[in-house]
Amino acid sequence: MKARVHVMLKNGVLDPQGEAVRHALGAMGFDKVEGVRQGKVIDLDLADGATEADVVEMCEKLLANTVIERYEIELV
pLDDT single digits (tens) 15-32: 999 999 999 999 999 999
CATH number for the 2-75 domain, one of 3.30.1280.10, 3.20.20.105, 3.40.190.10, 3.30.70.3450? 3.30.1280.10
Q: Rounded CA gap, 25 and 9, in Å? A: 20
Measured distance CA(47)–CA(30) in Å, rounded: 44
- How many of the other CB atoms lie within 10 Å of CB of 20? 12
pTM for this predicted structure: 0.88
Question: How far apart (Å, rounded) are the C-alpha atoms in residues 6 and 69?
Answer: 10
pLDDT tens, position by position, 40-73:
999 999 999 999 999 999 999 999 999 999 999 9
Q: Residue 70: what pLDDT?
A: 98
What confidence score (pLDDT) does residue 67 get?
98
